[in-house]
Chains A and B, each alone.
Chain A
Amino acid sequence: MTAKTTEPLIFEVSRPGRMASAQNPNRGVDLSAIPEALRRKDKPRLPEVSEMQAVRHFTRLSQKNFSIDTHFYPLGSCTMKYNPRACNKLAMLPQFLARHPLAPESHSQGFLACMYDLQEILKEVTGMAGVSLTPMAGAQGEFAGVAMIQAYHKARGDLARVEILVPDAAHGTNPATAAMLGCTVREIPTNADGDVDVEALKAAVGPQTAGIMLTNPSTFGVFERRIKEIAGIVHDAGGLLYYDGANLNAILGKVRPGDMGFDVIHMNLHKTFSTPHGGGGPGAGAVGVSERLRPFMPTPLVGKDGESYRWLTGKDLPQTIGRLSAWMGNAGVLLRAYIYARLLGREGMHRVAEFATLNANYLAARLAEKGFDLAFPKRRASHEFVVTLKKQKQEIELTATDVAKRLLDYGYHAPTVYFPLLVPECLLIEPTETEDKETLDAFVEALAAIRDEARQNIAKVKGAPYTMPVRRLDDVRAARQLDLRYVPT
């Protein structure tokens, strides 16, 4: 359950002069060293509350959230698996928290060893020749990947390659990233079975092709069976292959992007390595590269000389695409990923894809048996699958949004809805390997119950949710009458 009561804004409980006194350095304020003209005259609008008021307020806000720790959260393409508590606790050891990013290497061997080991583990599990950990999210990993592809072509004097191919089913970040790097984006259609249309791809490649960005398994939740052929076509045309690691959980320990022929990949460590999602980040978008892209990796990296570790910077990689963050990206997130990798180990990593796939196929089979339509019924599900409510919409006006909102009342976070964009009224469902069979069974019953409710009383379902802190929100009003910060009346 989530808290149903309205929690006032913290500004509404604020009173002038109140404070959390234990947090005050108690040194007074002396600004005589700052020229008058540069000083602040007004008091910034921050809350004035006691420590307990703040603790109670934010604890109550937390209770208005669904989360993995409280609810089944089958949000497709997001890999909402259990985030082991040990990863958080050990990444927050005092020495790790206190380490300044510019601390000398002599006092950083423990931290650098973790980063070096993580680079090696990620190389092995993806089959790539080099790994850079610095990108701070998947989208920044994509940016790094496309920038490396550009740098590679440029270094060869091949300046005509300005086009990035993207399947029409791709995540929105793929075309957005290519555009940020000044590439033109050409979409490649997908066929009825969810595979890239290879004939269309053959027709699209040429001397203008910089590369292709692919997710495999695709956003349809199916494995791209002709991947080697696709790799051959793109490579023969002089382009490179980019692997969007959003769905890496589906193949971890089973297939390696490097073996499929990819030249560069990003990994969403907050998904596959469970670091967690944090209510919208921080993520970590480490990139792996094939041998030919190694010189271009973003810096800094961690290298090892004998038994000691050191930073590798632009001096070591003169052709680097440069820095993407002031330091080494989301270092604390990387520590969590490393701890997770050590807890799993070799055997555990093989099992990730196995049980993620088992759970997805089981859930898909049970839902099909209950009469729900799979978008790709002839295909194996990967770690996720797509259900389409096209039939239910026609017959009883039940939409994907209705199901999503009503699921909340049943105590489940909704799957991803209306993505992939090409499947009407779709639910993209990703149970992950950490869910037990009973939870999956109960989820099947909930979906079936919602459909039954809709048959009897569609208005009831369209009015959902009823048990959340708020009912359906007026998104149109939110966008038209912008209220983006509190202003006292």
Chain B
Amino acid sequence: MPFIPHTETDVKEMLAAIKAPSIDALFDEIPPALRCGTLQRIPEGLSEMAVTQLMMARAQADGLALNFIGAGAYEHHIPAAVWEITTRGEFYSAYTPYQAEASQGTLQLLYEYQTMICGLTGMEVSNASMYDGASALGESLLMALRANKANTSGVVLMPRAVNPLYRDVVASTTAAQGVKPVFVDYDPKSGQTALGALQAHAGDKPTAVVIQQPNFFGVLEDVDAITDWAHAQGALVVAVVNPTSLAVLKAPGQWGGAGADIVCGEGQPLGAPLSSGGPYFGFLTTKMAHVREMPGRIVGRTVDLDGRPGYTLTLQAREQHIRRAKAKSNICTNQGLLVTAATIYMSLLGPAGLAEVASASLANTRELVAQLGSIKGVEPLFGAAHFHEAVIRLPQPVAPVLEKLAALDIFGGYDLAAAYPELGNALLICATETKTAAQLAQYRDALAGVLA
């Protein structure tokens, strides 16, 4: 019996103590007609060895292709120590630190995480994580609606240059509470959100303005001008940022005159493997003035009976287990283990290492654009500066090209045709610090061959 320690003697003694004739008798309050059958469609159990063989075969079937897709999930080197420590049983098999005295490891780590993510974003307070970047944006907008007492329209100016999957998640998760996204176009030459397009909505009294930096095209937005414009309208600025980029890009807390009000994003680049899209974690930081509108767990430092420092969950009166229907969010379990990995990752990289990762990713993407741009008919699409992603245009429809590249075990990028049909044969490409010069050349040669 896998994972069940009972001997026959144990069972006998336990049933005697319960005064029950059999284990089956313990279910005698369940109406007999409801008892289920034998679950024939579930396969029989396997030994660990047999499961290992099955999973190895399935993993090997998927292989290890050369990946140039980003689009919200980024391949970075993860130091070996990160998951060695993260999967220690004391982190891996603990739960939410309800008993603070027996959870000081997790709690101190979360406090350190909150400090680090505040440092990166230039903000004053952070929660202990959201599910992922997309859901963090949804919760940030709900939070903006609660926090902005002046502009209560619910209108959120949402650039089309924001990750289209994030926009989908916002639509599915926030409409019931009155978030009304209004889409704002980008400048087709620069790839930046057009200030003129924003200004067309000056009369809408927007509750919030979303700025993604870098935006979905990898392009750098004019964050100072948009932040100042949004604040002039009485809107809160919700920043969606890539944490790696913040080692070298201006922190959202310093955007414009007053800084962004709520900052969120996908934490995956900080030590989470690509892993088919999850588990990742969302981060969410804000100014102290809005801390009571924040969703999710928050850890605070305090003292114990002897006056020694210790850490505990705090401001729990915002949360569902206390406030029930009046809670700020229904979130309970979040992404603790991924935050553990991220905190170790940020400690191992430090400010200098993370800046090098950011710079090397930027350099590799620029080199890739140059290499691919040397192929006849391939051209870079947007003029503005970018971070570690860029859009190129191919002389042929993208989907069949990507299929041919995949047959060579190269994932060539993200096809923009579905989300941005107006861009024609546009492809979003990404080369992080993990790519070698030889691999960039390999992609160029393969693409040249496919297009020929």
Instruction: Give complex CA distance A103, B59 in Å.
Output: 14
For A350, the chain B residues whose CB sits under 8 A away are: 39
Q: Are A95 and B62 in contact (CB-based, < 8 A)?
A: yes
Instruction: Give complex CA distance A175, B40 in Å.
Output: 36
Task: Please provide the chain A residues from 30 to 72 with a CB less than 8 Å away from any CB of chain B in the complex.
Answer: 30-31, 33-35, 37-49, 51, 54-55, 57-71
* A419 contacts partner chain B, Cβ-Cβ < 8 Å: yes
Instruction: Give complex CA distance A298, B327 in Å.
Output: 24
* B450 contacts partner chain A, Cβ-Cβ < 8 Å: no
Contact with A along B88-126 (1 / 0, CB 8 A): 111111111111111111101101101110111000111
> What size tier do the contact residues of chain B reach?
35 or more
* B401 contacts partner chain A, Cβ-Cβ < 8 Å: no
Which residue of chain B has the shortest Cβ distance to A59 in the bound complex?
B85
Q: B298 touches which one: A99, A255, A484 (CB < 8 A)?
A: A484
* B330 contacts partner chain A, Cβ-Cβ < 8 Å: yes
User: Closest CB-CB distance, A43 to chain B, in whole Å?
Assistant: 5
* A372 contacts partner chain B, Cβ-Cβ < 8 Å: no
Q: A58 touches which one: B10, B27, B344 (CB < 8 A)?
A: B344
Q: Are A54 and B348 in contact (CB-based, < 8 A)?
A: yes
Select the stretch in B30-38, B149-157, B200-208 that faces chain A.
B30-38
Select the stretch in A196-204, A286-294, A324-332, A386-394 that faces chain B.
A324-332
Q: B94 touches which one: A41, A172, A277, A347 (CB < 8 A)?
A: A277
Instruction: Give complex CA distance A111, B324 in Å.
Output: 38
Q: Are A124 and B42 in contact (CB-based, < 8 A)?
A: yes
* B224 contacts partner chain A, Cβ-Cβ < 8 Å: yes
Q: Are B351 and A342 in contact (CB-based, < 8 A)?
A: no
Which residue of chain B has the shortest Cβ distance to A484 in the bound complex?
B125
For B168, the chain A residues whose CB sits under 8 A away are: 322-323
For B67, the chain A residues whose CB sits under 8 A away are: 98, 100, 103
Task: Please provide the chain A residues from 454 to 489 with a CB less than 8 Å away from any CB of chain B in the complex.
Answer: 463, 465, 468-475, 477-479, 481-486
User: Closest CB-CB distance, A98 to chain B, in whole Å?
Assistant: 6
* B442 contacts partner chain A, Cβ-Cβ < 8 Å: no
User: Closest CB-CB distance, A441 to chain B, in whole Å?
Assistant: 10
User: Closest CB-CB distance, A440 to chain B, in whole Å?
Assistant: 8
Q: Are B344 and A54 in contact (CB-based, < 8 A)?
A: yes
Contact with B along A127-159 (1 / 0, CB 8 A): 100000000111110110001001000000000
With A100-B411, A473-B302 known to touch, is A46 a contact of B95 (CB < 8 Å)? no
Which residue of chain B has the shortest Cβ distance to A20 in the bound complex?
B348
Which residue of chain A has the shortest Cβ distance to B246 in the bound complex?
A44
Q: A358 touches which one: B6, B69, B128, B304 (CB < 8 A)?
A: B6
* B5 contacts partner chain A, Cβ-Cβ < 8 Å: yes
Q: Are A20 and B1 in contact (CB-based, < 8 A)?
A: no
Instruction: Give complex CA distance A45, B97 in Å.
Output: 25
Q: Are B309 and A346 in contact (CB-based, < 8 A)?
A: no
Instruction: Give complex CA distance A333, B411 in Å.
Output: 24
* B148 contacts partner chain A, Cβ-Cβ < 8 Å: no
* A24 contacts partner chain B, Cβ-Cβ < 8 Å: yes
Contact with A along B74-97 (1 / 0, CB 8 A): 010101010101011111111111
With A64-B104, A137-B131 known to touch, is A29 a contact of B356 (CB < 8 Å)? yes
Task: Please provide the chain B residues from 214 to 269 with a CB less than 8 Å away from any CB of chain A in the complex.
Answer: 220, 223-224, 246-251, 266
Which residue of chain A has the shortest Cβ distance to B94 in the bound complex?
A67
Q: A182 touches which one: B83, B116, B176 (CB < 8 A)?
A: B176
* B451 contacts partner chain A, Cβ-Cβ < 8 Å: no
Q: Are B45 and A478 in contact (CB-based, < 8 A)?
A: no
User: Which among B31, B98, B275 has the highest number of chain A CB atoms within 10 Å?
Assistant: B275
Contact count A vs B, C-beta below 8 Å: 687
Total number of A residues with any Cβ neighbor in B under 8 Å: 204
Task: Please provide the chain A residues from 342 to 380 with a CB less than 8 Å away from any CB of chain B in the complex.
Answer: 342-351, 353-355, 357-359, 361-362, 365-366, 369, 379-380
User: Which among B46, B94, B297 has the highest number of chain A CB atoms within 10 Å?
Assistant: B94
Instruction: Give complex CA distance A185, B94 in Å.
Output: 33
For A62, the chain B residues whose CB sits under 8 A away are: 85, 88, 90-91, 105
Which residue of chain B has the shortest Cβ distance to A53 in the bound complex?
B347
User: Closest CB-CB distance, A257 to chain B, in whole Å?
Assistant: 10
Instruction: Give complex CA distance A55, B85 in Å.
Output: 7
Instruction: Give complex CA distance A45, B157 in Å.
Output: 31
Q: Are B322 and A40 in contact (CB-based, < 8 A)?
A: no
With A113-B58, A473-B310 known to touch, is A27 a contact of B433 (CB < 8 Å)? yes
Instruction: Give complex CA distance A2, B407 in Å.
Output: 53
Select the stretch in A84-92, A233-241, A445-453 that faces chain B.
A84-92
Q: B131 touches which one: A97, A140, A227, A481 (CB < 8 A)?
A: A140
For A114, the chain B residues whose CB sits under 8 A away are: 55, 58
Q: Are B320 and A108 in contact (CB-based, < 8 A)?
A: no
Q: Are A433 and B344 in contact (CB-based, < 8 A)?
A: no
For B322, the chain A residues whose CB sits under 8 A away are: 172
Q: Are B51 and A339 in contact (CB-based, < 8 A)?
A: yes
* A337 contacts partner chain B, Cβ-Cβ < 8 Å: no
For B85, the chain A residues whose CB sits under 8 A away are: 55, 58-59, 62
* B189 contacts partner chain A, Cβ-Cβ < 8 Å: no
With A137-B332, A139-B320, A361-B26 known to touch, is A471 a contact of B356 (CB < 8 Å)? no
Instruction: Give complex CA distance A472, B344 in Å.
Output: 28
Q: Are A176 and B324 in contact (CB-based, < 8 A)?
A: yes
Q: Are A46 and B354 in contact (CB-based, < 8 A)?
A: yes
User: Closest CB-CB distance, A94 to chain B, in whole Å?
Assistant: 7
Q: Are A94 and B93 in contact (CB-based, < 8 A)?
A: no
Q: Are A125 and B59 in contact (CB-based, < 8 A)?
A: no
Q: Are B94 and A68 in contact (CB-based, < 8 A)?
A: yes
Instruction: Give complex CA distance A27, B281 in Å.
Output: 28
Q: B325 touches which one: A88, A185, A298 (CB < 8 A)?
A: A185
26 A-B contacts, Cβ less than 8 Å apart?
A: A18-B350, A40-B251, A48-B350, A54-B344, A61-B105, A61-B106, A62-B88, A66-B90, A104-B406, A107-B63, A108-B62, A124-B41, A136-B279, A172-B327, A179-B327, A255-B35, A259-B36, A279-B92, A280-B95, A331-B276, A339-B51, A355-B4, A366-B17, A380-B27, A380-B28, A433-B4
Beyond A95-B64, A343-B48: 11 further Cβ-contacts under 8 Å? A66-B90, A70-B90, A99-B276, A111-B62, A137-B333, A139-B333, A278-B340, A325-B277, A347-B45, A436-B5, A484-B299
